[in-house]
Chain A
Amino acid sequence: MNRKPIVLTAVIAALLLTCGCARQVPLSDLSAGGAVVGVMARTVAGEEIRGELLSLTQRELAVLAHYTEGEGIKIEGFGDARRVVIDGTRVDGEVVGVDRVDGARVARVRRTFPILDIDRATFHRSRQEVSLGAILSLLLGPSVGGLLALAI
Chain B
Amino acid sequence: MHRIAEGCSGATAGRLLRLGGLLVAAALVSGALSGCAGTSAWQFADEPGVPVRVELRYGGTLEGTLVGFEDGALVVDHALPKSENLEVVRMDGREIVYVAGVAMGEAIEIRDFDVVVRERLFPSEYDDARVRSRAYFGWGAAVAAVLAFLLVQLLEEQ
Contact = CB atoms under 8 A, between A and B. Distances in A.
B136 A140 contact: yes
> Interface SS of chain B: helix, strand, loop or mixed?
mixed
Which of B15, B43, B72, B133 neighbours the largest number of chain A CB atoms within 10 Å of its CB?
B133
A124 B137 contact: no
A56 B69 contact: yes
A98 to B, nearest CB: 12
Given A15-B137, A141-B144, A1 B41 contact: no
A124 B131 contact: no
Interface in B5-22: 5-8, 12-13, 15-16, 19
A19 interface: yes
Contact of A38 (B13, B45, B72, B156): B45
Interface stretch (B31-39, B83-91, B92-100, B104-112): B31-39
A127 B48 CA distance: 11
B40 interface: yes
Interface string A123-137: 111111111110111
Contacts of A68: 41
Contact of B48 (A27, A58, A124, A137): A124
Contacts of B123: 58
A98 B135 CA distance: 30
Contacts of A1: 5, 8
Contacts of B12: 3, 150
A81 interface: no
Given A22-B132, A149-B153, A104 B41 contact: yes
A118 B41 contact: no
A69 to B, nearest CB: 10
A136 B19 contact: no
A56 B72 CA distance: 11
B149 A132 contact: no
A110 B131 CA distance: 21
A120 B141 contact: no
Contact of A120 (B19, B70, B143): B70
Given A33-B133, A128-B38, A143-B26, 12 more contacts: A3-B8, A22-B136, A122-B69, A125-B45, A129-B133, A129-B134, A130-B37, A141-B143, A144-B145, A147-B19, A148-B149, A149-B152
24 contacts: A2-B6, A3-B13, A24-B53, A24-B133, A25-B130, A37-B131, A37-B133, A40-B48, A118-B69, A122-B68, A124-B50, A125-B44, A126-B44, A131-B34, A133-B135, A137-B136, A137-B138, A137-B144, A141-B148, A142-B144, A143-B148, A144-B141, A146-B19, A148-B145
